[in-house]
Structure 1
Amino acid sequence: MSSSSYIKTIFWDIGGVLLTNGWDKDERTEVLSRLGVDLVDYESRHEEANQYWERGLSTAEHFFNVTVLNQNPNLTFAELWPQVCAESKILHPGSFDILGELATSGRYALATLNNESRELNEHRLDAFRLRPFFDYFICSGYVHEMKPHPGIYRAAIEISGHLAETALFIDDKLENCNTAEALGMQAICFESPAQLRDELAQLGLRAA
């Protein structure tokens, strides 16, 4: 199947495709080093706490209390959180161009499909004015499951109201694309805006 007539929904990852990642290794190294936090000590707590935070099962304040603030009593959440948010930046302006063209065309439903805590997701949607581009948002912080677990893809498919075969998924991680394809979706493993535009054209997807 390659005809654009079959594609009804295009699901977009955010971090790595449109923006920098929200709280990945590079971002937390930058912020925590600047604040004098012991990175090795932090990383010993990150993974377990993050499994709850990115699934929307704990709050940002609780996450940072567990991982940072309890060990650094001179640092407050009110001081830390703006610096966490400030690490988010536009990564690929060309991807925004493509997204805008697809949104303007009105030919496809557009949705996010991303791993992110609820609070960072809300910040990034608002700060970078992403909401007008998308019809709805499938985020790990909302549906309580993370890529590449099949559950988040099944939720996306069900919420779309269409068959998996009518969905295209764009993500910069191969393992995430592989799961999408295993569930019947089409996928593009993002490398650059130029490569994305080329692969969309190969699928017959037109933005204008």
Structure 2
Amino acid sequence: MRSSSNIKIKTIFWDVGGVLLTNGWDRGQRKEVLTRLGVDLADYESRHEEANYFWERGLSTAEHFFNLTVLNQNPNITFSELWPQVCAESKILHPESLDILGKLGTSSRYKLATLNNESRELNEHRLDAFRLRPFFDYFICSGYVHEMKPHPEIYRAAIEISGHLAETALFIDDNVENCIAAGSLGMRAIRFESPTQLRDELAQLGLRAA
């Protein structure tokens, strides 16, 4: 039987928030936006987790999510006022990571896909605002497949959609728990720490991004 080191990578799955962009609606972004709007953060957080379970899995809309968590308690704030501020919190995190992504894409030796936890609306905004769509062949997002990392089902969906064995997939994510979950299903994983570290680990796998 061939060792995994001799199996060629056919698909590279990328996390988005924490690798290419800032996170979409994490604690830092929530604090920035909601403090500016005068929302009680502790009150908001008491409702966030339950509502977010459905939103990030694509089972509710952004407007419904924010009605439950912010707008019903703060009638002076409207969704049309809030949503642009939520979107504006997204930034490019590491331009060098985008350079690596682009170099791997131009090689045409691998399929490139996202594998990220994100609500449908934020995912689509970020793909468009930062012109990420041309980099990828397809998108595995919790808002589309209705499950989130590190649950095994989102990785199984990614593997099945790729059309290749798990052993031919490489997953890049900044969260160690997500990387462990991918590895448990046979995927290879790199825990992202910096663009330089990522480039070095890719080179060790024979994937040149320079």
Band of TM-score, shorter chain: over 0.9
Deviation at 1:145, TM superposition (A): 0.1
Deviation at 1:159, TM superposition (A): 0.2
Per the normalisation by structure 2, the TM-score is 0.97
One-letter amino acid of the counterpart of residue 48, structure 1: E
Match of 1:67 in 2: 69
Q: Pick the aligned partner of 1:21 from 20, 23, 27.
A: 23
Deviation at 1:49, TM superposition (A): 0.2
Deviation at 1:60, TM superposition (A): 0.1
- Within 5 Å, give how 1:15-164 maps onto structure 2: 15-164=17-166
One-letter amino acid of the counterpart of residue 133, structure 2: R
Q: Pick the aligned partner of 2:5 from 2, 7, 10.
A: 2
Listed one character per residue, the Cα deviations across residues 22-41 of structure 1 (whole Å, up to 9, x for unaligned) are 00000000000000000000
SS at match of 1:68: helix
Unaligned runs of 5+ in 2: none
Match of 2:168 in 1: 166
8 Å CA contact 1:172–1:190 kept in 2: the answer is yes
8 Å CA contact 1:98–1:207 kept in 2: the answer is yes
Match of 2:200 in 1: 198
Unaligned runs of 5+ in 1: none
Pairs aligned (count): 207
Deviation at 1:200, TM superposition (A): 0.1
8 Å CA contact 1:2–1:204 kept in 2: the answer is no
Deviation at 1:2, TM superposition (A): 2.4
Per the normalisation by structure 1, the TM-score is 0.98
8 Å CA contact 2:11–2:113 kept in 1: the answer is yes
CA RMSD of aligned residues (A): 0.8
Match of 1:179 in 2: 181
Q: Once the two structures are aligned, what percentage of the paired residues are identical?
A: 85
Deviation at 1:105, TM superposition (A): 0.8
SS at match of 2:5: coil
Deviation at 1:206, TM superposition (A): 2.3
8 Å CA contact 2:202–2:209 kept in 1: the answer is no
8 Å CA contact 1:42–1:67 kept in 2: the answer is yes
SS at match of 1:104: helix
Listed one character per residue, the Cα deviations across residues 58-92 of structure 1 (whole Å, up to 9, x for unaligned) are 00000000000000000000000000000000001
Deviation at 1:6, TM superposition (A): 1.3
Partner Cα distance (1:116, 1:73) in 2: 26
Deviation at 1:193, TM superposition (A): 0.1
One-letter amino acid of the counterpart of residue 80, structure 1: L
One-letter amino acid of the counterpart of residue 138, structure 2: Y
